[in-house]
Amino acid sequence: MALIWILAGTVIAGVGSVWIAAMLSFGIMARLTKHMLSFAAGALLSTALLQLLPEALAAGISADALFAFLLAGVVFFFILDKAELYHHGHEHGEQGLDLDTLGDPGAGHGQASSAHAHNHAHAHAHTHAHGTTGSGGWAVLVGDSVHAFGDGILIASAFMADWRLGMLASLAVLAHEVPHHMGDLVVLRHAAGNARSALVKVSLAGTVTALGGVAGYFLLAQFGAYLPYFLVIAASSFIYVALADLIPQLQRQASLRDSVGQLTWLILGIGLVFLVGALAHSGHGH
């Protein structure tokens, strides 16, 4: 039964995030585009601090070990991020693709909205200067697939602790992958000139999340005693992405109106995770 929950959660997070990104990128839900970074940051932080870490404590890990492992996890993801930047800097000569200039190829006469600027900057942080050639497009897809596989393992660890916790982790991953995939869709659409082809390719990369979930399921079945540590790793990943990637993007918008909107959607992300967690755990003690 746990494997079924893992497959459902990973497909929702991996593929669902791509389709929501497509709706935002191609205009159906464009009004919500600029709010996704704030919402994702709130969802990630609240899932890590209010759900994953308390669950790890309840699973038997000591507070000293938890915070030491949390710190190690944040440092590890920092090093991983630096290694990726270093690799792409050498591979592409650190000449990035200005995603803000791409817009919609079918309507690309200065009509790209300011809402897309958030996600273009976020995409640039993730893709780290991929070009618009075929090789650049494949680099985006390979990077997406590796990232999705890791997300799948983290989601599986949450489901192995509790299916409700797994659904919250899936929601948090979905929220932070939406702006990421929006940038990928822009890059691949520009490279191929075909929105449908870009959507299919990024969706296929998203399905790798399910493969990571299956791998995580069998890994944790063999090493179940280490489940609390996997939960802390998941929490450190969420905290790092929120604080090192998403929130710095929000700091670029300094007007009072933008700041109020960002704070509102940040609180909405926190509130949604808190509400879903409270409803899921009501009447069911751990």
Q: Provide the whole-model pTM.
A: 0.69
Per-residue model confidence as pLDDT tens for the chain (286 residues): 889 999 999 999 999 989 888 887 766 555 666 788 888 888 899 999 998 999 899 888 899 999 999 999 999 989 988 876 655 554 444 444 343 443 333 333 333 333 333 343 344 334 433 344 344 466 677 777 878 898 899 999 999 988 888 998 998 899 888 877 877 787 777 766 677 888 888 899 899 999 999 999 998 888 878 889 989 998 998 999 889 888 888 887 668 888 888 899 999 989 988 887 777 666 454 4
Contact 123, 176 (CB under 8 A): no
At 126, which helix (H) or strand (E)? helix 115-127
N- to C-terminal Cα distance for the chain? 19
DSSP state of 132: S
Nearest to 148 by CA among 272, 45, 15, 267: 15
**The token pair that represents 100 in the structure block:** 């803000």
- Angle 96-199-10 from CA coordinates, rounded to 5°: 100
Nearest to 228 by CA among 50, 73, 35, 56: 56
Nearest to 149 by CA among 208, 215, 220, 84: 208
Contact 192, 137 (CB under 8 A): yes
